[in-house]
Amino acid sequence: MSWFDRMFRRQRLYDELSEELREHIEEKTEQLMRIEGLSRSEARQAALRAFGNLTLLEEKSRVVWQWSTLESIFADLKLTLRRLRRAPGFAVIVLLTLAIGIGANTAVFSVINSVLLKPLPYPGSNQLLGLRLDAPGAGGLASISNGLAVSPSMYLTFAEHNRSFQSIGLWSPSTANVTGIEQPEWVQADQVSDGVLQTLEVPPLLGRWFTPADQDPHGSKTAMLSYGYWQRRFGGDRSVIGRAIQVDAQTRTIVGVMPRGFRMVDNDFDLLIPMAIDRSKLKLAPFCCNGIGRLKPGVSIAQANADIARLIPLWMDSWSNGPGTDPHWYEHWKIAPNFRLLKSQVIGDIGNVLWVVMATIGIVLLIVCMNVANLLLVRAESRHQELSIRAALGAGRARIARELLVESVVLGLIGGALGVGVAAAGLRLLVSIGPANLPRLSEVSLDARSIAFTFVISLLSGLLFGSLPVWKYVFLRGSARLSGSGRTASQSRERHRARNILVVIQVAMALVLLVCALLMVRTFAALHNVDPGFADAPHIQTVSTWIPDQLITDEQTVTRIENNIIDKFSAIPGVTSAGFARAVPMDGNEPNWDNLFVQGKNYEGNNPPLRFFNYVSPSYFNAMGTRFVAGRDFTWTDIYNLNHAVIVSENFARETWGSASAAIGKQVRQSSDTPWQDVIGVVEDVHVRGVDEEAPATIYWPTMLRSPYEPKAPITASRFITFAVRSDRAGTASLLSEMQQAVSSVNANLPLASVQTMQEIYSKSLARTSFTLVMLGIAAAMALALGIIGIYGVISYAVSQRTREIGIRLALGAQKRELRWMFVRSALVLTGVGVFVGLGAAVAVAQLIRTLLFGVSPLDPLSFVVVPVILVLAAAFASFLPASRVTTVNPVDALRAE
């Protein structure tokens, strides 16, 4: 008989045993009657006496078949489940709070696991570096996505002369128009150099990688597809290799398909296009692209940085910015490599936010455990007599402790199992509303590690909240309390201490979370109070388009098309104004940063600081609601006549000339080769990178202008532009379809992309703050609710236990009001102690979240006053309800009950 059979056949064995014993006694009885002539009952007595303790014997016989420990834990388990079934209210409350507490922790841990802990999905990803450079002299240019990006000339120098990397590649997220289908389609078409895929080491699903020949601008034009685009556009047809596709009015041959789930570092692309690198035309600038490299085995990041640092002067010697320019001009930028693990570059500083959220949710789980412990204490209290009797009858402490612990661990594990469901739902919600700038969000999932985490915290929670009753009833008390009846014992202060301490801790933790949440609310409000530099964002519709030079070569024509589109937009009913710029605020684009010389200023041989450049059409500011502080807007005449006019931001005007009005008529230029430009207008400051960052000093150029660097192409137009259309109908499908029609009527090959209102762009830029706010808010609300429940529970239990005392007091003439106050006061005392402890903790925690705050001090007096007041009021409320139950006590009944 295997142990497995035995498990199931055991019941039969036991039954047989009982029958056998009954039979034995029966036979003995009859024999005694027969031989000794006893009556049946006498004989039976004698037989039983001879036999001894029947139950005990039966048990001892059974023991033979058991693994005793496991078996009795099973028995405890069964008993626990039965007991829970008998107290469904208790079970539901405990399991629900646990499910939410554990579920929230699991969800947040899954996010942390997927975003921070899991390696990037490339083989040997700990050898992959993101190539970014420090350039303290480059101002705003080097602060785009944490550092200066790599220029194509740098890439070639690094790739050909380094000693540390197996391979280096360059890539840049980009978009393209795919035509030749029903509607022109705007796709994510990342540009990649040869070496990128080789560095990431992910082989194509079909076809081949790009080779050096593909990036020859005069060679054959090729493209690769993402798995998703291959499915969507070609239905997963395997014969797609070799087929042609029209990308930006250029025919390209499909040479490969990347496998499912492959992403370009943190970018979901449709197409990969080889970066056209023409060695003969390469310059030192532009610093456009993301570099990635795979380290040779055994090479450290520091060694790689040192290796590349050596190549910076070589780079400056190898290329120039055109004839007559100084190649060592970039020396004052103090460029130095600052390569980091690709993963840490992708993650950025989101780690702070996530760990804060994890800690917060962890605190909530602790509070949940406190609450459950509290409920268990109440239960243990009501079982106090049973436990004492069992102890008196010789049940070992370990035995009772085990039973109590089994109960709480079972609760923890069931709660955890439910929590997994909560977490799955929560994650789905999170991914769907997910903050746009949370990296790797698409990778978030409940994997084995998250489940293991859930199991561990469920187990630990169970042991944690279970250990309190054990400690209190088993080890502290032993069996000495059998004598006192439940009622008298309950009045001792000592008995309440554990539960009071729990309430104090709960209040303290709730205070910490509420203070943090309020600080985030204040941050959010402060951010909203910042004037972003545009007005009435919900009524600004933005759409982007891109006119590739393969489609329209002539720059004048490009500008005329764009002008026509604006005219058509303006004619749409309900549109009050329309314009465009190369970048609208907070959309992540930064068209240019460059030096700007101010006439009459002496830079003493140095270069003037870099300024943010944007390129705008007439009436763009009008459409955005950006106020003119002085001067006037561009006109289309300014544009077509290539008038030497610029508009500057107010902060630039003040910094340079002292006031906005003083700027009008002053002159600036980009370099000594370009003509002076007249400042014709000054506009208010715009927070291009979000309201939490300073508005950069900005120069607005006409959308078409003489190119300072291209003698052969004297005029450049803005080909990638974003329209801003002000209308009450912004965001409606009807407006969009009318805009689409307007664009098609001008040129049928132009798709519209990035359709969003400024309000959406604005909200996205606040996504990280709102994410933190929402998470902290949820946590704080849970903490507050649990805290209130805790106080309520303690007071109502106290009231119920002291019914007799209340009765006596009432009989002796105490006022009900006084009695109520007695209970409320004890709640307020507990709360007061909790608030006091919590304030200390909150001061420390607020320092930790300092970097998340904006426009509010970590010691914000308002937050530190409002929260304690809220808590005290909540405590008063939570205790008043049960306390008012004293009025229902009838003194006579209360006394008679004794």
Partner 1 sequence: MENSQTTSRDLFPGALEMMILESLRRQPAHGYALVQHIQQRSNNLLQVEEGSLYPALQRLLKAKLVKAEWTVSPATNRRVRVYQITKNGLLHLEREISSFDRMLEGIQMVLGPQKRNANS
Residues contributing to the site for partner 1 (CB under 8 A) = 16-17, 19-21, 23-24, 26-28, 30, 50-54, 56-58, 60-65
Task: Estimate to the nearest angstrom the gap between the alpha carbon of 242 and the chain centroid.
Answer: 42
Task: Give the residue with the Cβ less far from partner 1, 58 or 268.
Answer: 58
Which residue is it, tokens 């080789």?
198
| 302 versus 393: smaller Cβ distance to partner 1 | 393
Compute the least distance from the CB of residue 46 to partner 1, in Å: 12
- Going from the C-alpha of 409 to that of each of 301, 373, 382, the distances in angstroms are 46, 12, 20
Q: At its nearest, how many Å lie between partner 1 and the CB of residue 489?
A: 31
> What are the C-alpha distances in Å from 832 to residues 31, 222, 500, 555?
77, 72, 12, 72
- Rg value, the chain, Cα: 38
Q: In this complex, which beta carbon is closest to partner 1, that of residue 20 or of residue 818?
A: 20
**Identity of the residue, 4 or 813, whose beta carbon is nearer to partner 1 in the bound complex:** 4
In terms of CB distance, is 53 or 183 closer to partner 1?
53
> What single DSSP character describes residue 765?
H
Minimum distance, C-beta of residue 398 to partner 1, in the bound complex (Å): 18
Residues 795 and 879 sit within 8 Å (Cβ to Cβ): yes
Which residues are paired to 545 by β-bridges? 721
Which bin fits 162, alpha (ψ -120 to 50), beta or left (φ > 0)? beta
At closest approach, how far in Å is the CB of 79 from partner 1?
23
Those residues with Cβ within 8 angstroms of residue 203's Cβ, 6 or more apart along the chain or in another chain: 209, 259
Q: What are phi and psi of 237, to 5 degrees?
A: -70, 125
Q: Distance between CA atoms of 101 and 437, rounded to whole angstroms?
A: 26
Q: Which of 636, 511, 532, 550 is nearest to 586 (CA)?
A: 532
CB of 33 to partner 1, least distance (A): 13
Considering the complex, state which of residue 3 and residue 398 has its C-beta at the smaller distance from partner 1.
3
Find the shortest distance in angstroms from Cβ 24 to partner 1. 5
Least distance (Å) between residue 404 CB and partner 1: 25
Tell me if 598 sits within 8 A of 665, measured CB to CB. no
Q: Characterize the bridge pairing of strands 175-179 and 244-247.
A: antiparallel
- Give residue 291's region: left, alpha or beta (phi > 0; psi -120 to 50): beta
Closest CA to 254 of 207, 212, 198: 207
**Min separation Cβ 28 and partner 1, Å:** 7
Residue 461 DSSP label: H
Measured from the CB atom, is 23 or 694 closer to partner 1? 23
Specify the residue, 24 or 601, whose C-beta has the smaller distance to partner 1: 24
User: 304-342: b or e for each residue (b if 16 or more CB lie within 10 Å)?
Assistant: bbebbeebbeebbebbbbeeeeebeebeebebebbbbbb
Helix (H, G, I), strand (E, B), or coil: what is residue 336? Answer: strand
Q: Which two tokens stand for residue 322?
A: 């055109």
What is the rounded distance in angstroms from the CA atom of residue 150 to the CA atom of residue 166?
18
Cβ at position 90, least distance to partner 1 in Å: 36
Assess contact for 516 and 842: CB atoms under 8 A: yes
CB 106 within 8 A of CB 120: no
Question: In this complex, which beta carbon is closest to partner 1, that of residue 47 or of residue 249?
Answer: 47
Report the residue number, 4 or 280, with the smaller CB distance to partner 1.
4
192, β-bridge pairs:
171, 274
Kindly tell me which of 59 and 326 has the beta carbon lying closer to partner 1.
59
Which residue blocks in 578-700 are alpha helix, DSSP H?
620-624, 636-640, 650-657, 660-663
Minimum Å gap between C-beta 56 and partner 1 is 8
Shortest Å distance, C-beta 18 to partner 1: 10
Q: How far is the CB of 65 from partner 1 (least distance, A)?
A: 6
For β-strands 597-598 and 667-669, DSSP reports them as antiparallel
Instruction: State the nearest-atom distance from the C-beta of 41 to partner 1, in Å.
Output: 19
Q: What is the largest CA-CA distance in the chain?
A: 137
3-state secondary structure of 217: coil
Does residue 65 sit in helix, strand or coil? coil
**Cβ nearer to partner 1, comparing 44 with 499:** 44
**DSSP assignment of 532-571, as one string?**
-SS--GGGEEEEEEE--TTT---HHHHHHHHHHHHHHHHH
Closer Cβ to partner 1, 64 or 812, answer by number? 64
Q: Which residue has the tokens 């998250």?
A: 450
Minimal distance in Å, beta carbon 390 to partner 1? 16
Name the residue type at position 624: M
* 52/813 with CB nearer partner 1: 52
CA distance 139 to 610: 6
User: What is the smallest separation between the CB atom of 32 and partner 1, expressed in angstroms?
Assistant: 12
Of 27 and 160, CB closest to partner 1: 27
Dump the DSSP string for 477-525: TTTTTSSS-HHHHTTSHHHHHHHHHHHHHHHHHHHHHHHHHHHHHHHHH
Least distance from partner 1 to the Cβ atom of residue 826, Å: 48
User: What is the distance between the alpha carbons of residues 652 and 371, in angstroms, rounded to a whole number?
Assistant: 58
Question: Which is nearer to partner 1, 56 or 70 (by Cβ)?
Answer: 56
How many other β-carbons are positioned within 10 Å of the β-carbon of residue 494? 10
CB nearer partner 1, residue 16 or residue 694: 16
Alpha-carbon distance of 866 to 783, in angstroms, equals: 16
| Closest distance to partner 1 from the beta carbon of 35 (Å) | 12
